[in-house]
Amino acid sequence: MIKAVQAAIGLGLLCFAATQAAVAATDISKLPRVKQELVPPPAVPKHDQVVKGGPRVVEVRLETKEVLMEVAPGANVWALTFNGSVPAPLIVVHEGDYVELTLVNPKESTLAHNVDFHASTGALGGAGLTLVQPGEEVVLRWKAVKPGVFVYHCAPGGTMIPFHVISGMNGAVMVLPRDGLKDAEGKPYRYDRAYYIGEQDYYLPQDDKGNFKKYDSPAAGMHEMLELSKGLIPTHVVFNGAVGAITGDNALSAKVGEKVLFIHSQANRPSYPHLIGGHADLYWVGGSFSDTPLTSQETWFVPAGSAVAAAYEFHQPGLYVYLSHNLIEAVLMGAALHMNVEGEWDDDMMTQVKAPDSFDAEAAMDH
Measured from each CB, the residue nearest to Cu ion is 154
Instruction: Write down the least CB distance from residue 81 to Cu ion, Å.
Output: 9
| DSSP per-residue codes, 99-157 | EEEEEEE-TT-SS-B--EETTS-SGGGGGGG--B-TTEEEEEEEE--S-EEEEEE---S
Question: For Cu ion, how many residues bind (rule: CB under 5 A)?
Answer: 5
Residues 194-223 that bind Cu ion (CB under 5 A): none
Instruction: Write down the least CB distance from residue 69 to Cu ion, Å.
Output: 15
Active site residue 298: yes
Residue 132 or 307: the one with the smaller Cβ distance to Cu ion is 132
Query: Can you tell me the distance from the alpha carbon of 86 to that of 278, in angstroms, rounded to the nearest whole number?
Result: 26
Residue 132 or 323: the one with the smaller Cβ distance to Cu ion is 132
Active site residue 26: no
Active site residue 81: no
3-state helix, strand, coil in the chain (%, to 5): 15, 35, 45
Q: Which of 94, 100, 113, 160 is catalytic?
A: 113
CA dist 359 → 60, 355, 356, 366 (Å) = 63, 12, 9, 13
Instruction: Write down the least CB distance from residue 249 to Cu ion, Å.
Output: 30
Active site residue 116: yes
- Within 8 A by CB and 6+ apart from 245, the residues are 238, 239, 337
C-alpha R_g of the chain: 22
Buried residues in 278-302 as b, exposed as e (16+ CB within 10 A): bbbbbbbbbbbbeeebeeebeebeb
Query: Can you tell me the distance from the alpha carbon of 336 to that of 321, in angstroms, rounded to the nearest whole number?
Result: 7
Residue 268 or 324: the one with the smaller Cβ distance to Cu ion is 268
- Within 8 A by CB and 6+ apart from 325, the residues are 272, 273, 274, 299
Residue 162 or 244: the one with the smaller Cβ distance to Cu ion is 162
Active site residue 325: yes
CA dist 46 → 62, 129, 281 (Å) = 17, 28, 24
Active site residue 315: no
Residues 63-122 that bind Cu ion (CB under 5 A): 80, 113
Instruction: Write down the least CB distance from residue 35 to Cu ion, Å.
Output: 24
Residue 110 or 121: the one with the smaller Cβ distance to Cu ion is 110
Active site residue 15: no
Tell which residue, 288, 92, 77, 78, has the closest CA to residue 171.
92
Instruction: Write down the least CB distance from residue 169 to Cu ion, Å.
Output: 4
SS3 assignment, position 327: helix
Active site residue 299: yes
Cβ atoms within 10 A of the Cβ of 303, count? 14
Instruction: Write down the least CB distance from residue 57 to Cu ion, Å.
Output: 25
Q: Which of 298, 342, 346, 350 is catalytic?
A: 298
Binding mask 147-166 for Cu ion (x = CB under 5 A): -------x---------x--
Instruction: Write down the least CB distance from residue 316 to Cu ion, Å.
Output: 42
Residue 137 or 258: the one with the smaller Cβ distance to Cu ion is 137
Active site residue 64: no
- Within 8 A by CB and 6+ apart from 214, the residues are 76
Query: Can you tell me the distance from the alpha carbon of 41 to that of 89, in angstroms, rounded to the nearest whole number?
Result: 6
Q: Which of 160, 169, 225, 333 is catalytic?
A: 169
Tell which residue, 29, 26, 106, has the closest CA to residue 62.
106
Active site residue 113: yes
Residue 62 or 80: the one with the smaller Cβ distance to Cu ion is 80
Q: Which of 94, 118, 236, 279 is catalytic?
A: 118
Binding Cu ion (rule: CB under 5 A), the pick from 169, 181, 222, 280 is 169
Active site residue 118: yes
- What does the binding site for Cu ion look like in residue numbers (CB under 5 A)? 80, 113, 154, 164, 169
User: Which residues are tagged catalytic?
Assistant: 113, 116, 118, 153-154, 164, 169, 274, 298-299, 325
